[in-house]
Amino acid sequence: MAKSEHASAVTAIHGSDFESFAASTLFSQGWSVLYRALDWVSLNEFLQGLETQPDVLLISTDLEGIDPQSLHKLTNSGMRIFIFRKSDADLRQFPDSFAQPSVALELIAMIRGSMRRPMLRVSEPITQQTRAHVLAIAAAHAGAGCTSLSINIATELSLLAKKVLIIDANAISPAIAILLGQQGLNSAKSFQKIASNLWALEVTQENTAESIALLDTAKTEFDYIIIDSGVINELAQVLRGQRWTGEILVWVTSQADELWIIAKSNRVGVERVRKISQALSQNSMKPTISFVQAMSAPGKRGAIYDEAFLAGARTIGPKKILAYPADSRSIAMAENEQTSLYESNDRSLLRKSIASLAGEVGG
């Protein structure tokens, strides 16, 4: 069987209601459900006939013929497996099993998280009280101004005497350390204080796992977490765990409160907004979605692109559509001084506009 361009799954779930829920949830996210096994024998026969393993296997503890020893052998194949228990009584035989989720987003988040490690998950997701409001900012295309917006939103929030953490998760082109003249942000041992009420961390391929663990802790320690997610490309593939560069974005889909998509109001920006809106409509996630129209320009041509931008953004019913004006001079000045707009020119129109945007965070 040839490898499908879609993520693939196999279910081996006894209960028809839960199997239907799992299969329909996966299908709604663009997954291909290859087979529904009715018992352990048919599951093994199907898997043995495959040239390529499915991306994920969902099994219920009440599947006919299942036993811990046989399951252990299957997990040694490296396949990503989720075991869902019928009741807590099954924990004695299957201590690594999960309670059956009843909400689609919960199941999606569990599966996306598993894509980082090809192994049986060994613990239940732990719900803990969080303090931080998590905002991820991502660009629809290169050069949209994602990093600059992230830095200045974080700065404005820190000026309100809030404890703020900014994360550089732009794995391809990290720039926060460069733009602010900082060093050691990629140590992943702890967050580095870079200003009053402001800490920072840079995610790299080597420290991704440690950074995610730190993020989980940070949710209980900070008032705001601002994540520079860089450019979003091929969203579906990223959320299936096929790129290490997207691991923080996978975390964002289940842990963040808001996701802002920034794009310029020009031909490229309008086209990318249209495409990313389509991708977002096919991939559910926890954070609310808003669009930021970057560097909008006056004039007839600008008005045409503004209308097209709004039309593309509105297709998914975003929470907000925000905007701020073009001011390349203020941005260049801040970059040359390796500082924020507030410190470089606090009276500029751009700085005031972004301060206003910061007031939208959590609102």
Whether residue 220 sits in one domain with residue 72: no
Out of 67-76, 125-134, 143-152, the most confident range is 143-152
Whether residue 155 sits in one domain with residue 39: no
The answer to whether the CB of 287 falls within 8 A of the CB of 298 is: no
Does residue 257 lie in a domain region?
Answer: yes
Give the CA distances from residue 326 to residues 148, 167, 264, 331, in Å, rounded to whole numbers and listed in that order.
13, 25, 10, 9
Global pTM reads 0.81
Give the CA distances from residue 129 to residues 31, 134, 218, 294, in Å, rounded to whole numbers and listed in that order.
32, 14, 12, 34
Q: Where are the beta strands (DSSP E) in the chain?
A: 8-12, 32-36, 56-60, 81-85, 98-99, 133-139, 164-168, 192-195, 198-202, 224-231, 258-264, 288-296, 320-325
Q: Which of 114, 142, 172 is the last residue of a domain?
A: 114
Burial 283-317 (b: 16+ CB within 10 A, else e): bbbbbebbbbbbbbeeeeeeeebbebbbebbeebe
Whether residue 175 sits in one domain with residue 84: no
| Per-residue model confidence (pLDDT) at position 2 | 42
Q: Which of 66, 84, 114 is the last residue of a domain?
A: 114
Structural domain boundaries enclosing 153:
133-358
Does residue 123 lie in a domain region?
Answer: no
- For 275-292, write each residue's pLDDT tens digit: 999 999 988 899 999 999
Does residue 2 lie in a domain region?
Answer: no
Whether residue 176 sits in one domain with residue 100: no
- For 17-43, write each residue's pLDDT tens digit: 999 999 999 988 888 899 999 999 999
Whether residue 235 sits in one domain with residue 99: no
Provide the 8-state DSSP code for 88: G
What's the CATH code of the domain at 268? 3.40.50.300
Tell me what the mean pLDDT of segment 331-341 comes to.
95
Whether residue 258 sits in one domain with residue 198: yes
Whether residue 180 sits in one domain with residue 78: no
Does residue 126 lie in a domain region?
Answer: no
Whether residue 300 sits in one domain with residue 159: yes
Whether residue 207 sits in one domain with residue 59: no
What's the CATH code of the domain at 29? 3.40.50.2300
Does residue 128 lie in a domain region?
Answer: no
Q: Where are the beta strands (DSSP E) in 26-154?
A: 32-36, 56-60, 81-85, 98-99, 133-139
The band of 241, judged by pLDDT with boundaries at 50, 70 and 90, is: low
Whether residue 71 sits in one domain with residue 219: no
| Per-residue model confidence (pLDDT) at position 300 | 66
Does residue 44 lie in a domain region?
Answer: yes
Does residue 236 lie in a domain region?
Answer: yes
- For 83-124, write each residue's pLDDT tens digit: 999 899 999 999 989 999 988 888 888 887 665 444 334 344
Q: Which of 86, 114, 142 is the last residue of a domain?
A: 114
Whether residue 48 sits in one domain with residue 174: no
Does residue 278 lie in a domain region?
Answer: yes
Number of domains in the chain: 2
Whether residue 184 sits in one domain with residue 85: no
